[in-house]
Amino acid sequence: MIDPFGRAITYLRVSVTDRCDLRCVYCMAEDMTFLPKRDLLTLEELDRLCAAFIRLGTTKIRITGGEPLVRRDVMQLFGSLGERLGGGLEELTVTTNGTQLAKHAETLAKVGVRRINVSLDTLDPALFGQITRWGKIEQVLDGVFAAKAAGLAIKINAVAMKGVNEDQFDGMLAWCGEHGFDLCLIETMPMGDITGDRTAQYLPLSMVRSRLRKTWTLEDTDYKTGGPARYFDVQETGQRVGFITPMTHNFCESCNRVRLTCTGTLYMCLGQDDAADFRSVLRDGSSDAELEEAIQAAIARKPKGHDFIIDRRQERPSIARHMSVTGG
Ligand code: SAM
Ligand code: SF4
């Protein structure tokens, strides 16, 4: 699948639920209304759609959410997608908040998942409770170490927030180094109504990086994971630190991915509203060939890039949907 700007689309992110057991302040409002279950694609429909993407050249699938591991029986989907590894699919992975990982880490490893991303914005238990509104950090740490014990490579993702966790990153880099994890820092993106002031949260990562350089030797590397992060080797720890900077650096030129929501809507860009509906295609008796045609038609509409802006006058997000819809 080649889009109109010559980019090969090889990476599909699949949100399997909009629900979550946490309410991170930058992601959700406390009183979120979730979708009725009947609106969701079944696990079989998700598998059929993923299979069509794989036939068309998708080599990497990331399962996300909401919190993917809270969806009932989601391990069935990991199992069926795991069987597609080697047959076109090269990598199956997951982004999780880690709360349910202790339960699922071994199964994930067994079905063929090799690397996972765990979102963790601080190592401070009280601050973790504030950022997630009610999360217990011990649950996440148990999950992280269960995943490590199961042999999964771990990347910790942290959203950088001004005045909230900006003093945490030296400690987190040291902790990641100690345990063999990579760390990836992410700028906050203006998505969804979150009942808070986003402009106050925004922290440019260029600033974080120069602060980290006071303590750590960051060496350029061309390491790539297929995502938009720019990585550096941390000489002192032997691990890597990555930076995802959608707001300060245009990461669209090398975009290789599209995002499927749990209701079967395909967003061709995280930062644009255009979308294609696949639930109706899956449910109207279309053949696999027709499904593939619909996917090709959607890819042909992939836009050149996002135009995130924080609307400072109105303090409205530039994209109305929450990150939990498309899974980041
Ligand atoms: N629940 C899972 C988790 O937290 O890892 C998967 C879904 S979550 C929406 C995916 C990623 O998006 C997380 O790393 C989260 O921190 C990030 N995220 C959520 N809202 C964001 C925002 N407004 N700006 C930047 N990153 C955001
Ligand atoms: Fe849930 Fe992940 Fe959003 Fe936090 S970032 S509220 S864990 S979906």
The per-residue pLDDT for range 175-195, each reduced to its tens digit, is: 999 999 999 999 988 888 777
Q: Ligand 1 mean position to 152 CA, how many Å?
A: 20
Q: How far apart are CA 186 and CA 320, in angstroms?
A: 19
What is the structure's pLDDT at 313? Answer: 47
What ligand has the least distance to the C-alpha of 201? 1
What is the structure's pLDDT at 55? Answer: 98
Strands 257-260 and 218-220: what pairing? Answer: unpaired
Query: Average pLDDT in the 99-111 region?
Result: 98
**Cβ of 20 below 6 Å from ligand 2:** yes
The whole-model pTM stands at 0.94
Q: 43, 75 in Cβ contact below 8 A?
A: no
Residue 31's pLDDT band (boundaries 50, 70, 90)? very high
Q: Which domains does the chain have, with CATH numbers?
A: 11-326 (3.20.20.70)
Q: How far apart are CA 166 and CA 157, in angstroms?
A: 14
Q: What is the mean pLDDT of the chain?
A: 92
Query: Average pLDDT in the 190-201 region?
Result: 75
What is the structure's pLDDT at 318? Answer: 67
Residue 198's pLDDT band (boundaries 50, 70, 90)? confident
Atom number in ligand 1 closest to CA 190: 23
Q: 27, 192 in Cβ contact below 8 A?
A: yes
Atom number in ligand 1 closest to CA 326: 9
| Ligand 1 mutation pick, 15, 24, 63, max ligand atoms within 8 A of CB | 24
| Residue 273 falls in which region: left (phi positive, over 0), alpha (psi -120 to 50) or beta | alpha
Residue 298's pLDDT band (boundaries 50, 70, 90)? very high
Q: 153 by DSSP, 3-state: which? A: strand
Query: Average pLDDT in the 282-310 region?
Result: 91
What is the structure's pLDDT at 316? Answer: 60
Query: Average pLDDT in the 99-124 region?
Result: 98
What is the structure's pLDDT at 312? Answer: 47
Which pair of tokens denotes residue 135?
A: 């999360």
Q: Ligand 1 mean position to 259 CA, how many Å?
A: 14
Q: How far apart are CA 312 and CA 17, in angstroms?
A: 31
* Of the candidates 29, 111, 41, 92, the residue with the CA atom closest to the CA atom of residue 71: 41
CA quadruple 106, 175, 205, 310: dihedral, nearest 10? 50
Q: Ligand 1 mean position to 323 CA, how many Å?
A: 6
